[in-house]
Amino acid sequence: MKVKDIVEKLQLTVCSGAAGLEREVKGGYVSDLLSDVMGNANEGNVWLTLQTHKNIMAIASLKELAAVILVKGYQPEEDTRNESETEGIPVLSTSLPTFEIAGALFEILKNG
Amino acid sequence: MAEFRADLHIHTVLSPCGELEMSPSNIVRIAKEKGLDIIGITDHNSTRQAKMVRDLGREHGIYVLTGAEVTTAEEAHCLAFLPDDEKLDEFQAYLDAHLPFIRNNPEKFGYQVVVNVDEEIIYEEERLLIPAINQSIEEVEKKVHSLNGIFIPAHIDKKMYSVLSQLGFIPPTLRYDALELSRHTTVADFIAANPYLKNATFIQSSDAHFPDEIGSVFTIFDIPSISFENIQKKNTLI
């Protein structure tokens, strides 16, 4: 499954980094501690967080994540958008809380 | 040059988690007993007890930096110190404007009171002081520096509520005056694990919430005399 398929199925807003919509999704990871994501997320994961600081893009790039989904209507800061464009890793947004969007993402990834 | 002993991270009775014994008079007395020359008063998201400690410290030969431990939007704790009362009041107004209004439940979180030198309660803070303010770490840093203050990310080695736990690494564009380590590590151990920070200025402080913890670790400032400006120049040895 690709990032663009998730965007469509979960009705996400693409905030930045649209060039990365073809990236392959290999799972998901949920955490708001960037130190934890750095240690435990896997390549190809979609990362759900409420952190909007530009450091999320550095972590996404380091871990080669597929995309970042900001929950509860959070929007990326301007320099976060810029990093997302540069790295070609999409920042997506949903109005849903983490619990609900994680459940929905889990369902569609499970059913492949 | 002379060497001065500093513990720049001390909570008072105003912090909900601060013991009732953390009154201005006890803090100054214990700081004196522990041989400290400089202390920092850093309650969570409030500066309201700091002046009282400063005035008392002045009488007893302890230099007190007045400020707060700010919880940024990322939940990274950062120390902020302001050079004079006017700037301190302006910073307090900034904290008041950006702290979400959540009523404190003293039974659950602890009392948040300001006490005077006679240990009488003169103010009770009804807003819970622990939540994050709605300002990013960069916004807080810029505010502090716009007021010519000192900005120090707190206990960055901790696994919670530190800039490293919350943001993974120190944003390269963040302008800090020093980085604080908790009493649970050493500069050598920390730099071994984080070599990219080897050129940073470090301080180490107690983060005291209880009287016994005051001065349990400290920083030596190698400065000609004690003043805000000299501390700001950050010649530290730990």
CATH number at residue B224: 3.20.20.140
* pLDDT in the model for residue A4: 98
Percentage of residues of chain A with pLDDT beyond 90 = 95
Query: Nearest Cα to B53, choosing from B68, B35, B34?
Result: B68
Pairwise CB contact (< 8 Å): B137 & A35: no
Distance in Å, alpha carbon of A51 to nearest chain B alpha carbon = 7
Q: Which residues of A touch B136 (CB under 8 A)?
A: 53, 77
Name residues 136-155 of chain B within 8 A of A (Cβ): 136-137
Which residues in A lie closer than 8 A to residue B141 (C-beta atoms)? none
Separation in Å, CA of A59 to nearest CA in chain B: 8
Average pLDDT, chain A: 96
Q: Give kind and range of the element (H or E) at residue A110.
A: helix A98-110
Q: For B148, phi and psi rounded to 5 degrees?
A: 60, 35
Question: What is chain B's pLDDT, residue by residue, as a tens digit (238 residues)?
Answer: 799 999 999 999 999 987 889 999 999 999 999 999 999 999 999 999 999 999 999 999 999 999 999 999 999 999 999 999 999 999 999 999 999 999 998 888 889 999 998 999 999 999 999 999 999 999 999 999 999 999 999 999 998 899 999 999 999 999 999 999 999 999 999 999 999 999 999 999 999 999 999 999 999 999 999 999 999 987 777 6
Q: Do B166 and A34 touch (CB under 8 A)?
A: yes
Q: How many domains does chain A have?
A: 1
Q: What pLDDT does B238 receive?
A: 62
| Interchain proximity B136–A53, CB inside 8 Å | yes
pLDDT of B84 = 98
Can you give the residue range of the structural domain that contains A53?
Answer: 3-110
CB of A105 within 8 Å of a chain B CB? The answer is no
Q: Is A26 on the interface with B (CB under 8 A)?
A: no
**Minimal Cα distance from B157: which residue of A?**
A35
Do B167 and A34 count as a contact with CB atoms less than 8 A apart?
Answer: yes
Whose tokens are 């990365």? That residue is A20
Evaluate if residue A76 carries a pLDDT over 90.
Answer: yes
pLDDT in the model for residue A86: 97
Residue B203: closest CA among B173, B231, B179, B222 = B179
- Summarised one tens digit per residue, pLDDT across range A80-100 is 999 999 999 999 999 999 999
**What pTM value is reported for the model?**
0.90
CB pairs under 8 A between A and B: 35
Distance, in Å, from the CA atom of B18 to the CA atom of A14, rounded to the nearest integer, reads: 45
Which of chain A's residues have a Cβ under 8 Å away from the Cβ of B135?
none
Q: How far is B162 from chain A (nearest CA, A)?
A: 10
Cβ distance of B169 and A58 shorter than 8 Å: yes
Which of A36, A38, A55, A70 is the best substitution to test chain B (most B C-beta atoms within 10 A)? A55
Q: How many domains does chain B have?
A: 1
pLDDT (0 to 100) of residue B27:
98
Contact status, residue A44 vs residue A27, Cβ threshold 8 Å? yes
Closest chain A residue to B73 measured between Cα atoms? A51
Q: Which residue from A35, A37, A54 is facing B164, i.e. has the nearest CB? A: A35
Asked if A53 lies within 8 A of B159 by C-beta distance, the reply is no
Query: ipTM score of the complex?
Result: 0.77
Q: Does B165 touch chain A (CB under 8 A)?
A: yes
Q: What is the pLDDT of residue A111?
A: 82
Give the residue on A whose Cα is nearest the Cα of B171: A55
Alpha-carbon distances, residue B213 vs B10, B12, B31, B63, B111 (angstroms): 9, 12, 10, 18, 20
Give the span between the Cα atoms of B92 and B18, in whole angstroms: 19
Range of the domain at B227: 2-237
Of B137, B168, B171, the CB nearest to A35: B168
Instruction: State residue B169's pLDDT score.
Output: 94
Q: What is the CATH number of the domain that holds A68?
A: 3.40.1390.20
Q: Which residue of A has its CA nearest to B161?
A: A33
Do A46 and A65 contact (CB within 8 A), yes or no?
Answer: yes
